[in-house]
Structure 1
């Protein structure tokens, strides 16, 4: 038997390009989760449509005609069509595809079964098209989650695939719990109730890494930043005692830790916050009433701005020399300011610097 014609190179290239460009299809389990989510969304929108159309053809009176009209519209095909038209956004492919594929089921439920099966989600998504499971079950066969369908993961976590035809039923435990069934306590928590069906884990004292009770005396191991005292209780370790901070910082001890804070600008070295905690005053500051305060260089007996037509401006820890009013700096020299329409004055003053960093 002869073999068929070999694929053309151009066709192979096209197939390769499509494989690279098209997004990968979701795995089977993920598709099942998505299908359930889509179906749940359809039912939610259907129920919203029921609410939105409940009084649409009712004028608000109590006449027999209005009651009759409402009764007809309530279960009419017109109302169903209006609801179905709004079940999906135009861009939602999965939703539109599911409605189109199963529209006959929805119509059957609407006209014949809704009184017998009032829960549309249960009838449509779980029992008819079989894309969802009852709460507390998972997977293609709707098996019970770990810990049982009544209280999946014993109420201490989330069952993988819960309510969908996907997942494996395993538990993702809340932060307090661990173990296959979320019955054990994680590090930093201790058990206050434990039996075959229930487990309650409570946070240890802030000082404890592991514990058997609620106080710092019940610690089995201390957290970092804490240390056991003579009474075997975990107490705060004062890290500041070892002077861990840089020269221009002070140490602030906190429970279980510490932080290094910048000294006040007036300090060279400090023991705490503020200008009253300086070890030594920085240049431009002096000790006054136990605080390092700014020296006003502009009021010293000896002038610091010695050039003509310049003024002294005090700054924190320093000062500046600036041209007097009516004068402006030109290449380090204070010259008279030219008035609008006036001539440039040629008289200049002796050159001067215009600023000072430190004394």
Structure 2
């Protein structure tokens, strides 16, 4: 609730400043007559202008905002007529010092205590203090990516401290092959990530899982090695087993295909010396990897047999 109240108050203060800007020269043509000058200076500090600004502080649908403005209308009047010269920062005067729903940046909680790491650089600049700038939260640090620990000075796995002292820490990402490291290259790994292995010099190198025996992929797939991992990809449908993508990388050809100078191509069963469509009045139609038998022109299929299409009967008018 306290977080919400502070957010609402900040929005109101921001909108008040916008309202000041929008009403700066309202209702005046901007001509430079003495009358206009006098009227304008009167309007600048008038209750009419204050009311106009207050009316536009909230969306009509925002209950929290409207409630806060109504509840503290007298404070706005006090600031407008008596305090704004001495306290030009409305947000600080109203939200922090008067209605006590916000705190200064770097502080949190009911008493506006300093965040972990101090209010100057909460979390040592490497995180966000819980409840920062509000009367809520617990002041603990939610560290930025790469950092961990109560003070956000330690590095998570995959990062190392490039610079580190009691109040400052810079965590930099390790080489992609390292789980933990002391520097930027694959020779600075303390531990290799899964999918990487140490060579004789202690550097982490990619393990080629595609050399695994037995193979890690299915029979109709080929293995693609990637940094630290691998993936299984489907072979071309003309292949029976393959080493890479494409009809020219088959280990052997799938049924209905033949090896033509190293590439698997469709076998045209309809041109074989022995006819494949042997039933009467049939003809052969080739397709990829196979063929179908259909009734020849002038014939139709009835109960699995190709029979002559009957001639249409001619009707003779009597």
Same-fold status (TM-score > 0.5): yes
Q: Distance in 2 between matches of 1:68 and 1:198?
A: 57
* RMSD across aligned positions (CA): 2.5
Q: What does 1:114-133 align with in structure 2 at a 5 Å threshold?
A: 114-133=84-103
Deviation at 1:88, TM superposition (A): 1.9
The one of 217, 221, 234 equivalent to 2:204 is 234
Deviation at 1:319, TM superposition (A): 2.6
Q: Distance in 1 between matches of 2:98 and 2:106?
A: 19
Q: Does 2:234 align with 1:262?
A: yes
1:287 corresponding residue in structure 2: 259
In structure 2, the CA distance between the partners of 1:327 and 1:127, relative to structure 1 (3 Å rule), is farther
Deviation at 1:72, TM superposition (A): 2.8
1:53 corresponding residue in structure 2: 23
In structure 2, the CA distance between the partners of 1:103 and 1:322, relative to structure 1 (3 Å rule), is farther
In structure 2, the CA distance between the partners of 1:121 and 1:287, relative to structure 1 (3 Å rule), is same
Q: Does 2:6 align with 1:40?
A: no
Where does structure 2 lack aligned partners over 5 or more consecutive residues? none
2:132 corresponding residue in structure 1: 162
Contact 1:309-1:324 at 8 Å conserved across structures: yes
Deviation at 1:284, TM superposition (A): 1.1
Per-residue CA shift, 1:28-78, capped at 9, x if unaligned? xxx211111111121122222223333322324434344333333322222
2:225 corresponding residue in structure 1: 253
The one of 185, 189, 196 equivalent to 1:215 is 185
The one of 261, 266, 272 equivalent to 2:244 is 272
* Matched pairs, number: 312
Q: What does 1:1-359 align with in structure 2 at a 5 Å threshold?
A: 31-242=1-212, 243-305=215-277, 312-322=284-294, 332=304
Q: Distance in 1 between matches of 2:298 and 2:26?
A: 82
Deviation at 1:187, TM superposition (A): 1.1
Where does structure 1 lack aligned partners over 5 or more consecutive residues? 1-30, 346-359
Q: Distance in 1 between matches of 2:178 and 2:245?
A: 31
Deviation at 1:197, TM superposition (A): 1.7
**SS of the residue 1:227 aligns to:** strand
In structure 2, the CA distance between the partners of 1:325 and 1:162, relative to structure 1 (3 Å rule), is farther
TM-score w.r.t. the length of structure 2 is 0.89
Q: Distance in 1 between matches of 2:306 and 2:78?
A: 97
**SS of the residue 2:72 aligns to:** helix
Deviation at 1:87, TM superposition (A): 1.7
Deviation at 1:225, TM superposition (A): 0.2
**SS of the residue 2:171 aligns to:** strand
Contact 1:57-1:73 at 8 Å conserved across structures: no
**SS of the residue 1:166 aligns to:** coil
TM-score w.r.t. the length of structure 1 is 0.80
Per-residue CA shift, 1:256-301, capped at 9, x if unaligned? 0010111110111111111111111001111012111122334444
**SS of the residue 1:68 aligns to:** helix
Deviation at 1:329, TM superposition (A): 6.1
Q: Distance in 1 between matches of 2:76 and 2:303?
A: 89
Larger deviation, residues 209-218 vs 57-66: 57-66
**SS of the residue 1:275 aligns to:** coil
Per-residue CA shift, 1:79-137, capped at 9, x if unaligned? 22222122222332221211111011011112222222111111100010000000000
**SS of the residue 1:69 aligns to:** helix
